[in-house]
Structure 1
Amino acid sequence: MRRFAATDLHGCLRTFRHLVEEELHLRPADHLYLLGDYVNKGPDSAGVLDYLMQLQAAGYQVHCLRGNHEHELLATIHGEPNANGMWKLAAERQLTLTSFGVARAAAIPGRYVAWLNALPLQLELPDFVLVHAGFNFALPPAEMREDMQSMLYSKEFTYDPARLAGKRLLHGHVPTPVAEVQATVAAKAGAIDLDTGCAFRLNPELRHLAALNLDSWKLHLVENREEPYPIAVR
């Protein structure tokens, strides 16, 4: 059994499939932990969700957390106030909706909505704590692990291993240059951001999907393999 973690797929189905099938050669006994943001920005949000559900249905141990983009998509679907602010560009909104074959978020089929609704915010392993963005370590311990805002949206925090029983923290959310991620992994840092900005295919410092082997500490990198799409520069 092997354990891998990756994050921020953002609709990049071809890249993710290559990671799973050609780079990791994922086996049903392996565990793949995904830290959120499967939708928006890239070309095939629905395809990514379909593939994740197919892997799970086929018996693969694929564990998925909720990211802020899933959270905001659900809010948009349910018509909650200000939810439409999730898409910065009209082209991004159109890419996402077109992938689902709908004209508005509320028409996204229920099977996707149910899957998204069931995503947890965090996951704890014997040696790692997994979350999409991070924690507010200034909060009391019980509140820290219940603060949805920080778990989905934190962009910076001061990691405190004592608050996580000495466990390392794996997260995504903030696109980070590949070289910087490689350095934090090589140092076996206490908190590691695995988001190497896969969707930003024209940014040479980013444009990769990263997966970390949680036992060997090998960092697997796959460059963006999507056909051209309009949202490409960060």
Structure 2
Amino acid sequence: MTTVNFKQARGPDKLRIFAIGDVHGRLDLLKEMYRLIQAENEKTPPFDWVIVHLGDYTDRGPDSKGVLDFLVEAQRRNHRIVGLAGNHDVGLIDFIETGDPAGIFALNGGRQTALSYGIDIDFRNARSVAEGHRALVAAMPPAHLAFLRGLARSITFGDFFFCHAGIRPGVELSRQDAEDLIWIRSQFLNDARLYPKVIVHGHTPATNVEIRPNRVNLDTGAYASGRLSALMIDCAEKTLLEAR
């Protein structure tokens, strides 16, 4: 099996890639990141470009609705905006479909998401959960649901494989389990072997961007840290961007 490390890895010729870590409701940082990306493209115009979002647009931060409004509109205007699914995004859809009072949405920041739609849910109270579920179903625009349901689990460009959480070591990239791609942690993070592609991911908050020979972690805990991180890949050149 042919493997590649971060230093050797290259993006496709004539395509600049921007991979953005977990947003978690920080519309302010997302807008700033797009401003930084535009500035990079104006400074040295690429032949073509693409933005890859690594998932977790919702929960914990103050404006999940605003983030989804922004991304829906960005995709409408430009086909170069790619969204991948995070576990929190799947959790929001699960709550919409089931009203589960003990799922990831209820237990990990879903209250902030509901508040961004004008709905206050007390997840300790069964009646509040039931009423809040009905209200959130009514409040969510169809375009938000279509965006979330349409998110892919992974995408590949050049020597890089992009997903939310990571991969299952020892399993071919084309045969990865969809749940591993949005949930895996220790088995992936603790594995030092090289893969056929460098894995670019988020999911596990870190103080700073983690660059390893086999992976790059772009989750710098934006909702709490006030720092949203991205990786710009321009053929062999790799540059970090940070919105504050």
In structure 2, relative to structure 1, the CA distance for the partners of 1:81 and 1:33 (3 Å cut) is same
Aligned residues of 1:72 and 1:83 also touching (Cα < 8 A): no
Q: Find the counterpart in structure 2 of residue 229 from structure 1.
A: none
The one-letter code of the counterpart of 2:221 is: G
Alpha-carbon distance between aligned partners in 2 of 1:97 and 1:168, rounded to the nearest angstrom: 36
Q: Find the counterpart in structure 2 of residue 5 from structure 1.
A: 19
Structure 2's unaligned 5+ residue stretches are 1-14, 120-131
Q: Find the counterpart in structure 2 of residue 17 from structure 1.
A: 31
Mapped pair 1:100 → 2:117 = yes
1:1-234 superposed matches below 5 A? 1-22=15-36, 24-25=38-39, 29-59=48-78, 61-79=80-98, 84-88=103-107, 92-102=109-119, 103-104=132-133, 105-107=136-138, 108-138=140-170, 140-141=171-172, 144-145=175-176, 147-156=177-186, 157=188, 158=191, 160-162=193-195, 166-178=196-208, 181=209, 184=211, 189-201=213-225, 207-215=226-234, 216-223=237-244
Alpha-carbon distance between aligned partners in 1 of 2:89 and 2:168, rounded to the nearest angstrom: 21
Identity rate, percent: 29
SS at match of 2:224: coil
In the TM superposition, what whole-angstrom CA distance separates every residue of 1:92-111 from its partner, at most 9, and x where no partner exists?
Answer: 33321122234434332322
Which has the greater radius of gyration? 2
In the TM superposition, what whole-angstrom CA distance separates every residue of 1:122-170 from its partner, at most 9, and x where no partner exists?
Answer: 11112100110011114x437842x1221111112125444xxx21110
Higher RCO (Cα < 8 Å, 6 or more apart): 2
Alpha-carbon distance between aligned partners in 2 of 1:69 and 1:52, rounded to the nearest angstrom: 16
The one-letter code of the counterpart of 2:95 is: T
Residue 219 of structure 1: CA displacement?
0.4
Alpha-carbon distance between aligned partners in 2 of 1:116 and 1:200, rounded to the nearest angstrom: 23
In the TM superposition, what whole-angstrom CA distance separates every residue of 1:16-74 from its partner, at most 9, and x where no partner exists?
Answer: 10111145437694211111000011111111111111111112511110000011111
Alpha-carbon distance between aligned partners in 2 of 1:85 and 1:35, rounded to the nearest angstrom: 18
CA-atom RMSD, angstroms? 2.4
Alpha-carbon distance between aligned partners in 2 of 1:94 and 1:170, rounded to the nearest angstrom: 29
Structure 1's unaligned 5+ residue stretches are 202-206, 224-234
Alpha-carbon distance between aligned partners in 1 of 2:116 and 2:20, rounded to the nearest angstrom: 22
Q: TM-score, normalised by structure 2?
A: 0.75
Aligned residues of 1:76 and 1:83 also touching (Cα < 8 A): no
Q: TM-score, normalised by structure 1?
A: 0.78
Aligned residues of 1:4 and 1:31 also touching (Cα < 8 A): yes
The one-letter code of the counterpart of 1:169 is: I
In structure 2, relative to structure 1, the CA distance for the partners of 1:219 and 1:53 (3 Å cut) is same
Q: Find the counterpart in structure 2 of residue 227 from structure 1.
A: none
